[in-house]
């Protein structure tokens, strides 16, 4: 597993993920795994937690849906979730996704759910709840930028969760 965190204030969005990859109980990569990336026309960021090949497959499928639906993120996310739930092959994929653009942040699951948080903070993966709790605690501190909130929250998650490290990959949409 891993930790992916998305934090939003208005149209500004930051998504961060750690760089550790594990296979069972063993760490395979300490810092090289990229689980957060820009997709579509570069104005959308996506992150995944779970099996790497499954996450990459889902991102590729989402990109196809974005092309088909003129980069309308909500519509593409719902279409992906429907396929993910209904398709015999896709149902086997073991991953979760967070996607965000300047207007919306969503978590997409293989059970057909597309959810938008009330407060603009989403965490997934083995350290997702730790990072999300830390981000919520840091969110109202006026001196902190979204990048600082995300980095501090992932550091806290990495201190607690053995499947999360401190090598942060961060993308921003503003």
DSSP secondary structure string for all residues of 15-63: EEEE--EEETTEEEESS----EEEETTTTEEEEEEE-HHHHHHHHHHHH
Three-state DSSP class for residue 159: helix
Catalytic residue status for 2: yes
Annotated catalytic residue: which of 2, 3, 57, 111?
2
Q: How far apart are alpha carbons 168 and 119 in whole angstroms?
A: 23
Strands 21-23 and 26-29: antiparallel
Catalytic annotation, residues = 2
């Amino acid at each position: 597993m891993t930790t992916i965190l998305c934090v939003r204030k208005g149209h500004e969005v930051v998504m961060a993920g750690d760089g550790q990859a594990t296979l069972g109980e063993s760490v395979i990569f300490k810092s090289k795994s990229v689980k957060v990336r820009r997709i579509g026309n570069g104005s959308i960021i996506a992150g995944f937690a779970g099996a790497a090949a499954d996450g990459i497959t889902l991102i590729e499928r989402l990109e196809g849906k974005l092309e088909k639906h003129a980069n309308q993120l909500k519509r593409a996310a719902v279409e992906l979730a429907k396929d993910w739930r209904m398709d015999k092959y896709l149902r086997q994929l073991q991953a979760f996704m967070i996607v965000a653009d300047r207007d919306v942040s969503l978590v997409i699951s293989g059970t057909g759910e597309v959810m938008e948080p009330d407060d603009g903070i989403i965490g997934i993966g083995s350290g997702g709840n730790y990072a999300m709790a830390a981000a919520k605690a840091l969110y109202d501190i006026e001196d902190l930028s979204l990048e600082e909130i995300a980095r501090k929250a992932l550091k806290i998650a990495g201190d607690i969760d053995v499947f999360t490290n401190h090598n942060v990959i961060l993308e921003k949409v503003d």
